[in-house]
Structure 1
């Protein structure tokens, strides 16, 4: 049986879009996927047609792919099955809404939106139009992440008690970023929480929340502390304590600690000698995951019975001798022929379209909204406010900038 070809449009042409699209075009057979394949039929840049065409050339898209100079032109393209949105998260709400209203399925980069009100509206719109919508939290679709969740759900760790996850990079912001850089600009919903903290929260949620039965999942209580970046007022360090309610009969409450910073690093030498950045602890043992937590490749399972299982998880790709390279700015270029890992989420989106599903398997839309609500609460507790137009839904804004 021939694989089904999913035709992608790429909205925005920055570095994350380039990394995603290069991964997207790797033959799925290299990762034992035989039922679908991907192609790029169009890309759009708000900087003009020439920028979009340069992007298509850089990623080795088919010569037939169309370059557009506006996002509405891409959204109207009838040959596109699904659009990948790679703009800053400050603009996700507007961009996703544009595509959904044009009848397009959407895979949207993280963080899903700026606040939960925006996320809720997009979810309602997608469901009303019977369209696929998924937050592109690529890490959830790694085989490594599937393995970690399976160890929890099959009881290998016993009753889960707590999880700790840190995503911190010593980015030296005064030296690295101008005031208008997306990482520190309030006008682009900058700050560490939405950009990097989303990964720490993802690991807490996918181990303490997603692994429960749907009918047993309860939104967590939130306590937090934030250090602000003085030049612009966004957050540079955030610590979030989450309490997930659970019946006493099932082990009582679970606790998650999510930390993130661009002042310190959780992997000082880049070689893993700083130890694991994620620890999931249960009554029978713990699972450890080494940094970087957005693209981890190493786990260690330690059980009370003396079992120790170390595993290394390589990313597939075209392989050595292919003269093909991929990577992302901070991490640099990977080894020859090694994929970055963004194809796993693309495969999930494609298979959902083939199967008629409207959400991702490993993070549904309601969970994306729940995580946005947690980040809203962290911002509320620490007086983190973005400009009113960044917070807006349908041209309206929220009291004091909050939902």
Structure 2
């Protein structure tokens, strides 16, 4: 059977768009995905058509691919099936809405938007217009993540009661990021939480929330602490303690709470020597043992299962990235299958779950007193940013 071909439009030409597009161009057969295929048919830069043309030639895209110097023309292109939005989070609401209003399905980089109110409106529009919409949390679609969720659901480590996840990079913040870089710039919704903390939350949610049947998933309460970066006010460190009213997988006869500890920091590192000497950044702890995830939380390469004493051997599982890919092709394959099957959202990250996570980040920002400029928090549309 011929693979289902999806034609992509790429919105923005920064480094994340480069990584995603490079992955799209890798032959799906190297990762045993013979049922779908990807074509990049249009690329847009908001600053100039030249930039889009340079992006296309630098990637070596050989199929016919249009270059645009604005996003309006991109979303109007009849050859495009789905738009990948790769702009800063500050612009996601305006950019995704532009695509949806033009009748295009969308895969939007994380964090979905700046706040939950924006995400809810986008979800409403997508549903009203019968369009596919998904937040691009690539880590969720790794075979490694899927295997770990299945191990939890099978009861491999018993009832999971605690998950600790740390996504932190120890940088000289002043020297490396200054005041204008998107990581620390409030005008671009910068800061550790929305950029990196989302991965710590991804691990907490995909193990403690997503592993339950949909009708049993209940949002957690959160208590958090935040340290602002003295030069811009964006958060440089955020620590969150989440309490879920249920445990997983059985949520047994005496339901227990489970706890998630989600940390992020741009001044201290979870892996100071970058050799893994500091131990696993993610620990998933159950009544019968634990799963430790090794490597960067957003792109881990292996995990180990450590049973309780006397209950079996430690197992180490390697999860390589075929074809020298970064791993973004797996989320693209998910989009392709959803579009092929007429689905409007992905079961791997339902829109309801994206909303719950955005609401949680809203609450964390409220507790930490972190607000962004009114313009990028706004739900007004269209708005020139």
The structure 2 residue matched to 1:341, chosen from 291, 307, 327, is 327
The structure 2 residue matched to 1:290, chosen from 285, 294, 311, is 294
Q: Is the 8 A contact 1:41 1:62 kept in 2?
A: no
Which is further off, 27-36 or 238-247? Answer: 238-247
Displacement of 1:307 in angstroms is: 2.3
Aligned to 1:310: 316
Aligned to 1:351: 337
Q: Is the 8 A contact 1:10 1:85 kept in 2?
A: yes
In the alignment of these two chains, the number of paired residues is 377
For 1:155, what is the secondary structure of its paired residue? Answer: coil
State how far apart, in whole Å, the 1-side matches of 2:179 and 2:285 are.
40
State how far apart, in whole Å, the 2-side matches of 1:264 and 1:178 are.
17
After superposition, the C-alpha distances for 1:120-143 in whole angstroms (9 at most, x for unaligned) are: 000000000000000000000000
After superposition, the C-alpha distances for 1:199-241 in whole angstroms (9 at most, x for unaligned) are: 0000000000000110001110010001110000110000000
Show structure 1 runs of 4+ deviating over 4 A. none
Q: What are structure 2's unaligned runs of at least 5 residues?
A: none
Displacement of 1:298 in angstroms is: 1.3
State how far apart, in whole Å, the 2-side matches of 1:251 and 1:31 are.
40
Q: Does 1:141 align with 2:145?
A: no
Displacement of 1:395 in angstroms is: 5.2
For 2:37, what is the secondary structure of its paired residue? Answer: strand
Counterparts of 1:235-384 in structure 2, within 5 Å, are 235-246=235-246, 249=253, 251-304=255-308, 305-317=311-323, 338-384=324-370
State how far apart, in whole Å, the 1-side matches of 2:336 and 2:382 are.
34
Q: Is the 8 A contact 1:40 1:62 kept in 2?
A: no
After superposition, the C-alpha distances for 1:143-182 in whole angstroms (9 at most, x for unaligned) are: 0001110110001111111100000001221011131110
State how far apart, in whole Å, the 1-side matches of 2:110 and 2:171 are.
20
Aligned to 1:87: 87
TM-score normalised by L of structure 2:
0.96
Displacement of 1:291 in angstroms is: 2.5
Aligned to 1:196: 196
After superposition, the C-alpha distances for 1:327-361 in whole angstroms (9 at most, x for unaligned) are: xxxxxxxxxxx111000000000010001111112
After superposition, the C-alpha distances for 1:352-402 in whole angstroms (9 at most, x for unaligned) are: 0001111112110000010000100000011001000010002599xxxxx
Displacement of 1:18 in angstroms is: 0.3
Displacement of 1:255 in angstroms is: 0.5
State how far apart, in whole Å, the 1-side matches of 2:61 and 2:195 are.
28
Aligned to 1:12: 12
Q: Is the 8 A contact 1:45 1:51 kept in 2?
A: yes
Displacement of 1:267 in angstroms is: 1.0
For 1:296, what is the secondary structure of its paired residue? Answer: strand
State how far apart, in whole Å, the 2-side matches of 1:252 and 1:345 are.
33
Displacement of 1:250 in angstroms is: 5.1
Q: Does 1:109 align with 2:114?
A: no
TM-score normalised by L of structure 1:
0.92
The structure 2 residue matched to 1:392, chosen from 358, 378, 385, is 378
After superposition, the C-alpha distances for 1:258-284 in whole angstroms (9 at most, x for unaligned) are: 000001111111111111000011111
Counterparts of 1:17-36 in structure 2, within 5 Å, are 17-36=17-36
After superposition, the C-alpha distances for 1:262-321 in whole angstroms (9 at most, x for unaligned) are: 01111111111111000011111100001301000010100110321011111001xxxx
State how far apart, in whole Å, the 1-side matches of 2:122 and 2:134 are.
10
Q: Is the 8 A contact 1:159 1:251 kept in 2?
A: no
For 2:197, what is the secondary structure of its paired residue? Answer: helix
State how far apart, in whole Å, the 1-side matches of 2:183 and 2:33 are.
35
State how far apart, in whole Å, the 2-side matches of 1:206 and 1:250 are.
22
